[in-house]
Amino acid sequence: MAKPSKLPENDIDFIVTPEPAPQTFQTDEACGSPSIKDGVLPADGPGAEGFSNLALLALLIGVPTLYKWSSGKGWVTTALVAVLTSFPLLAGFWYFSSTLTPRKNTKVKLPGRPIEHYLKFHKKGNKTKYRGNNKIPIDIFQELYFNGDVEFKGDALEVLEYRHDWANFRFTYRLFKYFLLSFIPEMKSKSAGTMTGGTTFTLERGDKMLDIGCGWGTLARYASTNYGVCAIGITLGRNQTAWGNAGLRADGIPEEQSKIICMDYRDIPQTTFAKIACLEMAEHVGVRHFSSFLKQVYNLLDDDGVFVLQLSGFRKPWQYEDLVWGLFMNKYVFPGADASTPLGFYIDKAEGAGFEIKSVDTIGIHYSATMWRWYRNWLGNRSKVEEKYGKRWFRIWEYFLASATISSRQGTATCYQITLVKNLNSTQRTGGIQTQFALSGALAAGGGASLRTA
């Protein structure tokens, strides 16, 4: 099959990634990798250690109980009071907990500069309210910045590195209202979404491979072109489907071998595959549907097959900064992606669906390196983005890419790459030894033989 002269990627206007902005505040030494943005003020904030579920429960039960005892009213009236007081009690408890809880530790000393050293407010009221050491709640800053009411005095990423010096992460009424009235209802009705990335399984010519949430089909294209697999990519995007198939045809891959299909993952016909990948999509399935999704994948996988699951997650020992950032993500970037959780949830659900955990890699620091490059590319395309989508859209994604560079580097959010096989007695496990890189690396470092020859 002759290759078309026009490749689909020729329609993309590639730019050279701009160099990092000059550092005007930084005083710390480099982290040792030119691909990773240095963490110049890695301060820890207040978090889970200052939040008491028992105290919150006592408050929610105690207030209506005290009302019943003091007023002599019946249980129906007391229940009504409990419902009416739950929202203000929850909001107040979260506000005071996030405000009064001290920092997790003070190992990193804050510079103590005034807020106007970092930010320039345009409205007189904001200039008066936020000045000196009167820090601004980060969610309020986000709205002001997206609306053009405040500017960074310097590169957005650099100033955000010092956010603990000019912002706080307390729960405001506006944030709690969004959490209760928008985030929770969306979480109850969420279904699915798409993204793409890399894998850790061994591909062989003729393997049947399924990529769930394949995005633009680049993994299916790469695997088909370089390893001769028969790949099927599933995505909800019509443009992604057309672009992905054009890429396969451009590389001389016939439709009989590999193709991209526009389809909901729940409608995948029942057949089996030697290799299945799901990269940065499963978070969008939703917590309620996560177990059934994994069981579906289990049934689509050959008994000796390999499933690579890559998804984002949050740390369990949370800080208020993590919660505020997660709500920002849900509101502006990935609405309803509620299945971003600590690692334990994913492991428990995978084992419950019948999988064995072959390996887990936490690759958040690599994700940070990627986000930093995306951030700089975004800045390099500023005029084009603002011309087509407006300044607000540019600022939202500028803030997201900058803050994601930090959050995935410091552990607020991370990315897990989990390799799974079926947990059956008959599963052939020896064929995957060479892809257990942590074990192979340890053996190589120690000068030992591989397990195949030991």
Whether 400 and 310 map to the same domain: the answer is: yes
Residue 270 lies in a domain: yes
Distance CA 62, CA 67 (A): 9
Residue 375 lies in a domain: yes
Whether 311 and 399 map to the same domain: the answer is: yes
Whether 165 and 221 map to the same domain: the answer is: no
Tell me how many domains the chain contains. Answer: 3
Whether 74 and 137 map to the same domain: the answer is: no
Q: Which of 275, 278, 274, 254 is nearest to 265 (CA)?
A: 278
Residues in the chain: 454
Residue 12 lies in a domain: no
Whether 217 and 306 map to the same domain: the answer is: yes
Whether 253 and 176 map to the same domain: the answer is: no
Whether 169 and 268 map to the same domain: the answer is: no
Residue 25 lies in a domain: no
Distance CA 140, CA 138 (A): 5
Predicted TM-score (pTM) of the model is 0.82
- Say which residues have a Cβ less than 8 Å from residue 70's Cβ, sequence separation at least 6: none
57: its two tokens: 């429960």
Mapped onto helix, strand or coil, the DSSP state of residue 45 is coil
Whether 228 and 289 map to the same domain: the answer is: yes
Q: Is the dihedral of CA 120, 122, 123, 124 positive or negative?
A: positive
Residue 321 lies in a domain: no
For 55, the domain range is 48-100
Kind and range of the H or E element at 8? none
CATH of the domain at 384: 3.40.50.150
Residue 201 lies in a domain: no
Q: Which of 87, 310, 75, 143 is nearest to 213 (CA)?
A: 310
Residue 32 lies in a domain: no
CA distances in angstroms from 108 to 32, 43, 182, listed in the order given = 19, 5, 35
- What are the DSSP E strand ranges found in 194-317? 208-212, 230-235, 259-262, 273-279, 301-314
Whether 87 and 133 map to the same domain: the answer is: no
Burial 174-208 (b: 16+ CB within 10 A, else e): ebbebbeeebeebbeebebbbbbbebbbebeeebb
Radius of gyration of the chain, Cα coordinates, nearest whole angstrom: 25
Residue 269 lies in a domain: yes
Whether 239 and 124 map to the same domain: the answer is: no
Instruction: Give the domain-ending residue among 57, 75, 100.
Output: 100
Whose tokens are 């960074």? That residue is 152
Instruction: Give the domain-ending residue among 189, 219, 241.
Output: 189
Distance CA 22, CA 256 (A): 51
Largest CA distance in the chain: 87
**Tens of pLDDT along the chain (454 residues)?**
444 556 677 667 777 888 887 776 655 555 556 777 878 889 999 998 888 889 999 998 989 888 888 888 888 888 888 888 888 888 888 889 889 999 999 999 999 999 999 999 999 999 999 999 999 999 999 999 999 999 999 999 999 999 999 999 998 877 776 655 554 444 443 332 223 333 456 888 999 999 999 999 999 999 999 999 999 999 999 999 999 999 999 999 999 999 999 999 999 999 999 999 999 898 888 888 999 999 999 999 999 999 999 999 899 999 999 989 888 988 888 776 566 789 999 999 999 999 999 999 999 999 899 999 999 999 999 999 999 999 999 999 999 999 999 999 999 999 999 999 999 998 888 777 777 766 666 556 555 544 444 4
Whether 289 and 144 map to the same domain: the answer is: no
Whether 169 and 215 map to the same domain: the answer is: no
